[in-house]
């Protein structure tokens, strides 16, 4: 039998040690602290343990190791594959995916969905609020299954669903505002006609007055909130302020409706003018820049309401002199 020399044996031992270094390094366990990321994905590998929470905004979180806290995704998809989470898992406007995963707490998705496969286990509750609902194949849930308006018939993301809900809310809000505006015009036809007709007179002063009223209302609201004796007055201030804003918007919609109708050579009624002005406001508020203009128009309307004491009188100029024309 051939004998190896001492140098050869030492060389072989050194080679084995060198080759074993990357292997041992690759399986080395890594402990990490709390992970919070913005616009950047978070990945916890199988050999990693996070002693804290994992939070991600506008990205994603992939958990293959262990998290000794909660996993939260805001506008972020959360995927737990062969991972272990000792807390809760929450995703807002995205979904949660589980595969061979173990979650000791609850799993919650808002406007997304919860998907489970591969013998995953949830010790708490599985909760889906709207979105795609609960799809927990081969997943054990020790708590409750709570599915609120889930199971969307089409595959739509959380962002798309949120945009749809906001669009529906916007449309319903505009329809309701138009209906209430019609009622207000029917009850106070002359007042709204006078306010609308005079809305574009002395625009600068009326906008300034409206800004003072708007800002003063918010300052007063804050003072009443922080004061002990002011709480009962909130029930009067808030509805009154909302009524003023509604009257201001209705007045300006009518005013723009009048201008557009006259520009087309038409002489429409108050309700038709309100409808035309409402369409203009809807088109403006679709964009962020347009909302700035509608806010300025609301300030003009507030100034007009204060100027005329809700249409009680109008300001006219005759022969260079200003006169107050009462409507009573």
Q: What is the pLDDT of residues 196-232, one digit of tens each?
A: 888 888 888 899 999 999 998 888 888 887 876 767 7
pLDDT at 22 over 70: no
Kind of pairing, strands 60-63 and 42-44? parallel
The answer to whether 24 and 16 are in contact (CB under 8 A) is no
Q: How many CB atoms lie within 10 A of CB 8?
A: 10
Number of structural domains in the chain: 2
146: part of which helix (H) or strand (E)?
Answer: strand 145-148
104 is a domain residue = yes
Q: Is 134 exposed, middle or buried (0-12, 13-18, 19+ CB in 10 A)?
A: buried
**162 and 143 part of one domain:** no
pLDDT at 56: 93
User: Does residue 2 fall inside a structural domain?
Assistant: no
Residue 184 CA to its chain's centroid (Å): 31
Residues 6 or more apart whose CB falls under 8 angstroms from that of 293 comprise 284
Q: In the sheet that 134-136 helps form, which strands lie side by side, from edge to edge?
A: 42-44, 60-63, 77-81, 95-99, 113-117, 134-136
* 167-201 confidence digits (pLDDT tens): 778 888 888 888 998 888 888 888 888 888 888 88
Q: Are 55 and 36 in contact (CB under 8 A)?
A: yes
Give yes or no: residues 126 and 191 share one domain: no
Domain that holds residue 81: 29-148
Examine the domain organization and report whether 126 and 178 are in the same domain: no
The model's pTM: 0.56
Q: Is residue 24 part of a domain?
A: no
On whether both 167 and 308 belong to a single domain, the answer is yes
174: in domain: yes
87 is a domain residue: yes
């Amino acid at each position: 039998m051939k004998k190896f020399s001492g140098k050869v044996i030492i060389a072989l031992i050194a080679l084995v040690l060198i080759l074993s270094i990357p292997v041992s390094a690759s399986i080395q366990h890594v402990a990490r602290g709390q992970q919070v990321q913005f616009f950047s994905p978070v990945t916890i590998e199988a050999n990693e343990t996070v002693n804290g929470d994992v939070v991600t905004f506008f990205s994603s979180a992939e958990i293959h190791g262990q998290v000794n806290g909660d996993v939260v995704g805001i506008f972020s998809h959360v995927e737990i594959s062969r991972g272990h989470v000792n807390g809760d898992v929450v995703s807002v406007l995205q979904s949660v995916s589980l595969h061979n995963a173990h979650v000791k707490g609850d799993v919650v998705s808002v406007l997304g969905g919860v998907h489970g496969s591969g013998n995953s286990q949830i010790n708490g509750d599985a909760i889906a609020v709207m979105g795609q609902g609960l799809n927990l194949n081969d997943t054990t849930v020790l708590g409750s299954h709570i599915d609120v308006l889930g199971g969307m018939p089409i595959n739509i993301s959380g962002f798309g669903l949120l945009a749809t809900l906001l669009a529906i809310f916007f449309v319903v809000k505009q329809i309701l505002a138009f209906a209430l505006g019609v009622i207000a015009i029917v009850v106070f036809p002359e007042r709204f006609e006078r306010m609308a007709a005079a809305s574009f007179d002395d625009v600068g002063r009326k906008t300034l007055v409206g800004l003072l009223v708007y800002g003063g209302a918010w300052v007063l609201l804050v003072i009443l909130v922080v004061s002990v004796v002011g709480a009962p007055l909130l029930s009067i201030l808030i509805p009154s302020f909302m009524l003023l804003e509604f009257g201001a918007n209705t007045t300006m919609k009518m005013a723009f409706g009048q201008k557009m109708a006259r520009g087309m050579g038409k002489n429409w009624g108050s309700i038709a003018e309100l409808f035309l002005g409402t369409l203009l406001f809807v088109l403006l508020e679709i964009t962020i820049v347009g909302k700035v203009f509608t806010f300025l128009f609301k300030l003009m309307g507030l100034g007009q309401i204060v100027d005329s004491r809700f249409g009680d009188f109008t300001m006219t100029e005759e022969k260079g002199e200003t006169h107050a024309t009462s409507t009573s």
